[in-house]
Copies of this chain bind each other. A is one copy, B any other.
Amino acid sequence: GRKVLIVYAHQEPKSLNGSLKKVAVEELSRQGCSVTVSDLYAMQFEPRATRNDIVGCLHNSEEFNYGLEAWEAYKRGGLSSDLVEEQKKVQEADLLIFQFPLYWFSMPAIMKGWMDRVLVQGFAHEFPNCYDSGLLKHKLALFSFTTGGSREMYAKGGISGDIRYLLWPMQHGIMHFCGVKVLAPHICFAPEYVSEEKRKEMLIAWAQRLKTLWKEEPINCSPEWYFK
């Protein structure tokens, strides 16, 4: 059975994001996958990258360098337990699903903090092992999110620009950098401004897509996909 980690960032279980997460857990479990959820708000996940992430002495206590200290701590098994937990979940997963409402053309800070703190050097990448040779290669990722703006606003030539423009930092800058292959994003446009019936259709469409997810090919994660 395949293993899936859903990293989920919404405060309200009754939200559409909450329902999308639930649908994914149900459908993937039905397929025989083993599904783990990191419910970031419920966990009160810490987004701030600080000295507290390193257990014990610092490599250089004269001048604190987070990236270096986290790397050193990873190598000697000295990262804080919440990070070790998350890294275990990532290590075991074949597929990472990120489920969130788009905040300011990106993920909510609590999820950005998950990226900043969990994907440390040594674990997720280690120069020159980045991009296609990143340490998390052979894994898949999928960004599933809701927007405030409409599909028209996020069209090419629309006021907010092609939605793909804003996927570059998340899909290429984070996932591809770690060697993870990226499946096409799943986007629910402006659910707050549509009928209850349309929202139900959004849930059904997501469940439908998940049925054949494992047959999908990753996108070609290069500038052409985003900016042409």
Q: Which residues of A contact B (CB under 8 A)?
A: 11-12, 14-15, 41, 44, 47-51, 62-67, 103-106, 108-110, 112-113, 115-117, 119, 131, 148, 159-161, 165-166, 168-170, 172-174, 177, 192, 223, 226-227
| Contact between chains at B160 and A173 (CB < 8 Å) | yes
Taking CB atoms, residues of chain B closer than 8 Å to A62 are 14
Q: Are B49 and A47 in contact (CB under 8 A)?
A: no
Q: Taking A148-B67, A159-B131 as contacts, is the C-beta distance between A104 and B169 under 8 angstroms?
A: yes
The residues of B that contact A12 with a CB separation of less than 8 Å are 63-65
Asked if residues A103 and B169 are in contact (CB atoms below 8 Å), the reply is no
Interchain CA distance A115-B112 in the complex, whole Å = 12
What chain B residues lie within 8 Å of A110 (beta carbons)?
A: 47-49, 109, 113
Residue of B nearest to A40 (CB): B48
> With A and B bound together, what is the CA distance between A163 and B170 in angstroms?
14
Query: How far does the alpha carbon of A103 sit from the alpha carbon of B118 in the complex, in Å?
Result: 12
Q: Which residues of B contact A173 (CB under 8 A)?
A: 104-106, 160, 166
Q: Give the Cβ gap from A52 to chain B, nearest Cβ, in Å.
A: 10
Q: List 26 A-B contacts (CB under 8 A).
A: A11-B50, A11-B66, A14-B62, A44-B48, A47-B109, A47-B113, A48-B110, A49-B108, A49-B109, A103-B112, A103-B115, A104-B112, A104-B115, A104-B119, A104-B169, A105-B169, A106-B169, A108-B112, A109-B113, A109-B116, A110-B113, A161-B223, A165-B165, A165-B168, A165-B169, A165-B227
State the CA gap A167–B101 with chains docked (Å): 20
CB distance from A112 to the nearest CB of B (A): 4
